[in-house]
Amino acid sequence: MKDVLKNLRHNGVYVPVYDFKGFKIKILGKKIKLSPISEQMAIAWIRKKQSILSPPDKIYEKNFKQEFLEKIEQENSELEFINNFFKNHLEKIAETSFQEDEIDFSEVSNYLDTIKQKKQSLSKIEKKAQSAIRKALKLEKKEKYGYAIVDGKKLEIANWIAEPSCLFAGRGDHPRRGKWKEGPKQEEIILNLSPESPTPLGKWKEIIWEPEKMYVAKWMDKLTGKIKYVWFSDSAFIKQNKEKEKFEKAAKLGKRSRSIEKYIIKNLKAKEDIKRKIATVCWLILKPNMRVGDEKDPEEADTVGAITLRKEHIKIEDDVIYFDFLGKDSVRWKKSIKAPDPVIQNIKNYMKSSKEYLFEGVDSKKVSRFLSQKMPGLTAKVFRTWRCTKTLEDALKKSRVKKEDKIYVKKFYAKMANLKVAVVANHKRKISPKFGERLLKKEEKIKELRIKLKNLKAAGKKTKSTETRIEKISLDIELTKQTKEYNLGTSLKSYIDPRAYTKWARSADFDLTKFYPKTLQTKFSWALERKKPVSDIECKNT
DNA sequence: TTACGCACTTAGGAGGGACAAT
DNA sequence: ATTGTCCCTCCTAAGTGCGTAA
C-alpha cells in the first residue's frame, strides 16, 4: 500500500477531565453519594430532561434508568435499604417514570439552574469577557494538541479533544439511545506516530506507526464497539488531495454516464438473476439517487438504502414507483419516479419472491464489481457526487445570472442551485418550531414596505432604496419557504465540486467569499480564486 | 463467497456567536 | 445599545467501501 505520511509527529489527544462536584441524590428520602460516573450520568440526564427541543422519549428514559439504577445499586451495595429498595423496585421503576418522591435529583437540578441563572444575569460585557476567556483556554490547549507535523508541515487536527462521556444520542429509533457512553481514557487511546517522534507524556494504550493510514489516533468506543478516529481537518493537504480525487472520479463518471446507463439498462434483462438484481439496484442509484444501503446491525435504527429495500417501502402504479422509507440518519426518503418497463418488472418480481430484502444476495461489493466492469474504481457513492455537481451546474446555467445583477440576486440563485442539490440528495432538516412565525414576520414586513413605497410614489419622493429592500425581502421569503425542510450545508460541503461554483462565479462576476463560509473557503482553498471581482467592490453596500 | 473488521466519508442536530433589526 | 434571528462550527453518529480471513 502507498504511504500517505512520511513522518507524523504530534502531542497525543487531549482527554477532558471531569470536574467532580460530589452531589447526592435522595432515594426514599435518604441521601446517597454519587460517584464521578453516576454524577455525570445524573447531570446528563437532568440536562436532557430540561431540553426543550429534544427531551427524552420512553426508550431513552428506560435505557437511562436501567443503567443508572444498576450503577447506584453497585456503588451502594453495602447499604441495606438500597438493597431492599432495589429488590422491590428495580424492575418496576425501570418500566415507569421516576417517582419524584422515590428518587430526588434536586441537588443536580439546582446546580444546573444556578449555572443557567448566573449566565443569564451576566451583562453583555461580562458575557463577552467570559467567552473570551473560554476561547483563550481552548486555544491554548489547541496549540498543544490541535496540530500535527506531517512531513515537516504543520497540519490542523479536526477532533483533537477526545469524546467526553455522555448519554448516547443515537438518531431515529436507535434502540440504545439514552445509554451511558463512557469516553475513552488516555490509556485506551492508540496513537499513530512515526518512530523518530518523541512519545507524548502519559500512559497511552499503544504507539503505532501506520504510514499508509491517515489517522492521528484511535480508540474503541465502549458502548457501540466501534472504532473512533482522530483525523486531520479539512484544511490539511492530505484531505484536500483526496477531495480533488473524489471530484475527478465523479467527472470521469460524467463523461461515461451514457454508456454506463446503457450498460445498466442492458443488464436489467441479464440471464443471471443476481446480475438483474444488481442492475436494478444500480438503476435506483443512478436515477433516483439512492444510497447503496448495505445491511446493518439490528442493534441500530432500521434504516434502508437500495439493497435493503423491502416490500413495504415500495408501491407501483403503472410505470411509476413510489418509495417511502427511512434512509440514512432516519431521514424520510419519499419520492416517486417513472421507470422503464424492465425495472418495473424486476421490482414486481422481487416483491413477490423476496423473503426479507427485495435484492437479497446483493451487497455493495457486488455492486462495485459490476460497475467496475465499465469504469475501474466506480462505486455507488460516486453517482451521488456526480449527480449533485451536475445538478448544480445545470441549475446555475438555467438561472441566467448576468454580471450586472445585484449581489443579493446572484447570491439568491447560488443558494437556489444549492437547494436543488439538497433536494436531489434528500438532505433534510428538522423544521424549526418557529418557522411559521418567522415567515409571517417577513411577510408582514414586505406588506409594510409596499405601503411605504406607494406613499413615496404618491409624494413623488425617491423610491429606489425601498424598492431594493422589497426585492431583497421577497427573495429572502422565497428562499425561506423553499428551504423549509432542506439543509443546504451537507451538499455544499461534500457533494458540490467547488469548481462548478468558481466557473459560474467567474462568468457572473460573483465573489464566492460572500457565499462559502470561512471553513469551507479553507477546505476548498485548492479551488477557490482569491482575486475579488470588480463589481464586488462597487456594490459593497447593496 | 461471505463475513467481518477497519478506515474513511457523509450526516443532521445542538449551541453559541455574529449580525441584522429595532 | 439591545434584542432576536439565523448562520456557522462543532460534535459525533451513521453511512460506504476495502482488505482479509475463514
Residue nearest to nucleotide C13 (CA to C1'): A170
Show which positions of strand B are touched by protein (CB under 7 A).
Answer: 2-4, 6-17, 22
Distance A262 CA to B7 C1' (A): 33
Does residue A231 have a pLDDT over 80? Answer: yes
According to the model, what pLDDT value does residue A461 have?
Answer: 81
The separation between CA A90 and the C-alpha centre of its own chain, rounded to angstroms, equals 37
Tens of pLDDT along A133-163?
A: 888 999 999 999 999 999 899 999 999 999 9
Provide residues 225-264 of A with CB closer than 7 Å to any strand C atom. Answer: 228
Which pLDDT belongs to residue A67?
A: 93
The A 174-193 residues near strand C by Cβ under 7 Å are 174, 181
pLDDT of residue A114 exceeding 70: yes
Q: How confident is the model at residue A529 (pLDDT cuts 50, 70, 90)?
A: low
- pLDDT above 90 coverage of chain A, percent: 74
Looking at this protein, which amino acid is placed at residue A219?
Answer: W
Q: Which of the nucleotides lies closest to A119 (Cα–C1')?
A: B16
DSSP 8-class letter at A331 = -
Integer distance in angstroms from CA A429 to C1' C14? Answer: 16
Please determine, for residue A221, whether its predicted confidence score (pLDDT) is greater than 50.
Answer: yes
* Average pLDDT, rounded, for chain A: 91
What contacts A388, CB < 8 A, 6 or more positions away? A421, A424, A425, A491, A495, A496
Residue at shortest CA–C1' distance from C2: A124
| Rounded to 5°, angle at Cα A528 from A527 and A529 | 120
- What fold does the segment set A268-378 form as a domain? Topoisomerase I; Chain A, domain 3 (3.90.15)
Q: Please, what is the end-to-end C-alpha distance for chain A in angstroms?
A: 53
Can you list the pairs that A353-358 forms with residues at least 24 positions away whose Cβ atoms lie under 8 Å? A354/A310, A354/A311, A356/A310, A357/A295, A357/A307, A357/A308, A357/A309, A357/A310, A358/A309, A358/A310, A358/A311, A358/A314
Q: Are A251 and A497 in contact (CB under 8 A)?
A: yes
pLDDT at A173 over 80: yes
Place A94 in a pLDDT band, splitting at 50, 70 and 90.
Answer: low
| pLDDT band at residue A467 under the 50/70/90 scheme | confident
| CATH architecture under which domain A389-538 falls | Orthogonal Bundle (1.10)
Q: How confident is the model at residue A268, as a pLDDT?
A: 96
pLDDT of A262 reads 97
Mean pLDDT of A478-501: 96
Reduced to 3 states, what is the DSSP secondary structure of residue A217? strand
**Secondary structure (3-state) at A404:** coil
Q: Which residues, other chains included, contact A158 with Cβ-Cβ below 8 Å and sequence gap of 6+? A: A230, A231, A232, A233, A234
How many Å apart are A139 CA and B15 C1'?
A: 19
- Largest distance between two CA atoms of chain A: 88
Strand-pair partners of A357 = A310
User: Across residues A180-189, what is the average pLDDT?
Assistant: 97
DSSP 8-state symbol, A355: S
Q: Is A189 left (phi over 0), alpha (psi -120 to 50) or beta?
A: beta
Identify the H or E element spanning A415: helix A407-425
pLDDT at A119: 83
Task: State how beta strands A190-192 and A206-208 pair.
Answer: parallel
Task: For residue A302, give the nucleotide whose C1' atom is nearest its CA.
Answer: C14
Taking the C-alpha atoms of residue A108 and residue A24, their distance in angstroms, rounded to an integer, is 8
CATH 2.170.11.10 fits A8-15+125-231, yes or no: yes
* Helix or strand run (H / E) with residue A31: strand A30-33
What is the four-CA torsion angle of A400, A402, A405, A407, rounded to 10 degrees?
Answer: 80
Chain C footprint positions (protein CB, under 7 Å):
2-3, 5-19
Beta bridge partners of A326: A332
How much is the pLDDT for A413? 95
Q: What is the 3-state secondary structure (H, E, C) of A425-450?
A: HCCECCCCCCHHHHHHHHHHHHHHHH
Answer whether residue A2 shows pLDDT above 80.
no
CA A363 / C1′ B2 distance in Å: 10
Cα A327 to Cα A131, A206, A324, distances in angstroms: 38, 37, 9
- Rounded Cα gap, residues A427 and A79, in angstroms: 52
Q: What is the C-alpha separation between A291 and A363, in angstroms, rounded? A: 12
Pick the range with the lowest mean pLDDT from A60-69, A325-334, A451-460: A451-460
Domain boundaries defined on chain A: 8-15+125-231, 24-121, 268-378, 389-538
Question: What is each CA distance from A112 to A19, A23, A70, A246, A494, in whole angstroms?
Answer: 14, 12, 24, 46, 38
3-state SS assignment for residue A221: coil
A48-70 confidence digits (pLDDT tens): 998 888 899 999 999 999 899 88
Residue A42: exposed, middle, or buried by beta-carbon count in 10 A (0-12, 13-18, 19+)? buried
- The reported pLDDT for the residue numbered A89 is 61
Q: Across residues A373-401, what is the average pLDDT? A: 96
